[in-house]
């Protein structure tokens, strides 16, 4: 397998731009685009029968799992217990052996994630692994393996693995909803059709937002702190945005649930700290707009990442608005990941950091 950067300055950039292709490849293993149905997922994990699901992972994979929790609960009415693996493994969580557990890991070797897996196994749960590396320890020790087909990821900050994890989790949540009778055939087909459209839209976004991202990144590179806000599945995405930015640009960033703004971070708002709001025009949009008003009223500078419908609906005075195509709710986290990743990437490039090998971080953390 030849791995080079092609025409890109960094592996991270190459991996961001590879997403339409790899995600389409990944989806092809989980859905049938001819009849817009999900493919049968696993003979070992029977989503129709499990009373609950446990999910655990670290870093970016954990944030993918958090988006997955929203999907499994909403579409499959399946309660999800989720935690970062370093907590999960020690919490002495009461688990029922009839349940299943999902472990998400790009490398398949993260020590805490593996320990959480073994804990669940000892308690008799069926184990599923959402991994990029099928020969990994986590894959080997699992009952069912759900590969993400992202191809080798070299940049320490995860990008394409994240969106491929999301795509696989989306397909699994739809499959679970089907198995449990909580989504209809028509809903399944509508969601799969949206997923099928996604790679083309991702390509469109990647080809069009570069100039705006460049401009915003120059602004961000002058800042000491950045706050990211979102509701629903945009909340884990806000945390992912903050994680990416701090990892590679070393700018302090926090991701918060927009509704928690009042309970703390609002104290930090001033003209020096940009507030990046991730808000597709979904059922939370109006709530998030009122949070933005609270920010604006305190002189905060807002960078709004929304979609066409959101841009048309908002009359708010923002420092800048990035407009993405309007998509189905289940697709939004993948599409909105792109500006979030590119903002971190270009900010780091402006600051001259070692983008692919940020200080103190490792691609795979195999020690506790
Ligand atoms: C490290 C990497 C992250 C990654 C995390 C989990 O911290 O720098 O990018 O999200 O480990 O890794 P895994 O291989 O388990 O997904």
**Residue 41 pLDDT:** 85
Ligand 1 and 154: CB distance under 6 A:
no
* Residue 307, phi then psi, degrees to nearest 5: -115, 180
* Residue 331, phi then psi, degrees to nearest 5: -95, -25
For tokens 């597709």, name the residue. 280
The CA 243 to ligand 1 mean position distance, Å, reads 11
Answer yes or no: 363 catalytic.
Answer: yes
Going by C-alpha positions, the residue among 278, 276, 242, 198 that lies closest to residue 33 is: 198
pLDDT digits (tens, 9 = 90+) for 84-140: 999 999 999 999 999 999 999 999 999 999 999 999 999 999 999 999 999 999 999
Buried/exposed code over 80-105 (b: 16+ C-beta within 10 A; e: otherwise): bbbbbbbebbeeebebeeebbbbbbb
pLDDT digits (tens, 9 = 90+) for 32-83: 999 999 998 888 999 999 999 999 999 999 999 999 999 999 999 999 999 9
Q: What is the DSSP string of 193-214?
A: HHHHHHHHHHHHHHHHSHHHHH
Q: What ipTM is given for this predicted complex?
A: 0.96
The CA 335 to ligand 1 mean position distance, Å, reads 21
pLDDT-derived band at 258 (thresholds 50, 70, 90) equals: very high
Full-model pTM: 0.97
Ligand 1 and 113: CB distance under 6 A:
yes
**Residue 367 pLDDT:** 85
Asked if the model's pLDDT at residue 363 lies above 80, the reply is yes
Ligand 1 and 111: CB distance under 6 A:
no
Phi-psi region of 245 (alpha: psi -120 to 50; beta: other; left: phi over 0): alpha
Please state, in angstroms and rounded to a whole number, the distance separating the CA atoms of residues 144 and 161: 19
**Residue 318 pLDDT:** 83
Buried/exposed code over 130-166 (b: 16+ C-beta within 10 A; e: otherwise): bbbbeebbbbeebbbbbbbbbbebbbbbbbbbbbbbb
**Residue 68 pLDDT:** 98
pLDDT digits (tens, 9 = 90+) for 218-242: 999 999 999 999 999 999 999 999 9
* Protein residue whose Cα sits closest to atom 7 of ligand 1: 59
Please state, in angstroms and rounded to a whole number, the distance separating the CA atoms of residues 76 and 68: 11
Instruction: Give the mean pLDDT of the chain.
Output: 95
**Residue 316 pLDDT:** 82
**Residue 4 pLDDT:** 86
Candidates 59, 117, 129, 168: which one to mutate for ligand 1, based on the most atoms within 8 Å of Cβ?
A: 59
**Residue 254 pLDDT:** 97
**Residue 33 pLDDT:** 94
* Pair 85, 58: CB distance under 8 Å: yes
* Ligand 1 atom nearest to 60, measured from its CA: 10
**Residue 317 pLDDT:** 80
* Protein residue whose Cα sits closest to atom 4 of ligand 1: 59
* Ligand 1 atom nearest to 162, measured from its CA: 10
pLDDT-derived band at 2 (thresholds 50, 70, 90) equals: low
């Amino acid at each position: 397998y030849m791995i080079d950067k092609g025409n890109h300055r960094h592996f991270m950039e190459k991996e961001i731009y590879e997403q339409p292709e790899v995600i389409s490849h990944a989806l092809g293993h989980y859905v049938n685009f001819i009849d817009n149905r999900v493919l049968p997922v696993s003979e070992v994990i029977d989503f129709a029968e499990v009373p609950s699901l446990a999910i655990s992972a670290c870093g970016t994979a954990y944030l993918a799992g958090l988006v997955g929790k929203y999907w499994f609960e909403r579409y499959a009415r399946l309660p999800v217990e989720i935690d970062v693996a370093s907590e999960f493994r020690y919490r002495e969580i009461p688990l029922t052996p009839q349940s299943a557990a999902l472990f998400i890991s790009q490398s398949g070797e993260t020590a805490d994630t593996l320990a959480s897996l073994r804990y669940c196994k000892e308690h008799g749960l069926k184990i599923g692994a959402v991994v990029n590396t099928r020969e990994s320890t986590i894959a080997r020790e699992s009952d069912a393996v759900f590969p993400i087909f992202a191809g080798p990821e070299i940049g320490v900050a995860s990008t394409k693995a994240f969106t491929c994890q999301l795509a696989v989790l989306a397909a699994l949540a739809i499959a679970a909803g089907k198995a449990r009778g909580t989504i209809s055939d028509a809903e399944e087909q509508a969601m799969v059709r949206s997923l099928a459209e996604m790679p083309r839209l991702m390509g469109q976004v990647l080809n069009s937002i570069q100039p705006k991202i460049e401009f915003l990144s120059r602004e961000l590179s002058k800042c000491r702190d950045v706050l990211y806000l979102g509701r629903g599945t945009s909340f884990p995405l806000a945390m992912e945005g903050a994680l990416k930015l701090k990892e590679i640009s070393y700018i302090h960033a926090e991701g918060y649930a927009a509704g928690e703004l009042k309970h703390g971070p609002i104290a930090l708002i001033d003209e020096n700290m940009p507030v990046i709001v991730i808000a597709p025009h979904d059922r939370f949009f109006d709530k998030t707009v009122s949070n933005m008003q609270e920010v604006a009223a305190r002189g905060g500078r807002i960078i709004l990442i929304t979609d066409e419908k959101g841009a048309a609906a908002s009359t708010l005075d923002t420092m800048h608005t990035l407009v993405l195509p309007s998509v189905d709710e289940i697709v939004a986290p993948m599409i909105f990941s792109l500006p979030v990743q590119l903002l971190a990437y270009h900010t780091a490039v402006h600051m001259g950091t070692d983008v692919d090998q940020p200080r103190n971080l490792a691609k795979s953390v195999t020690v506790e």
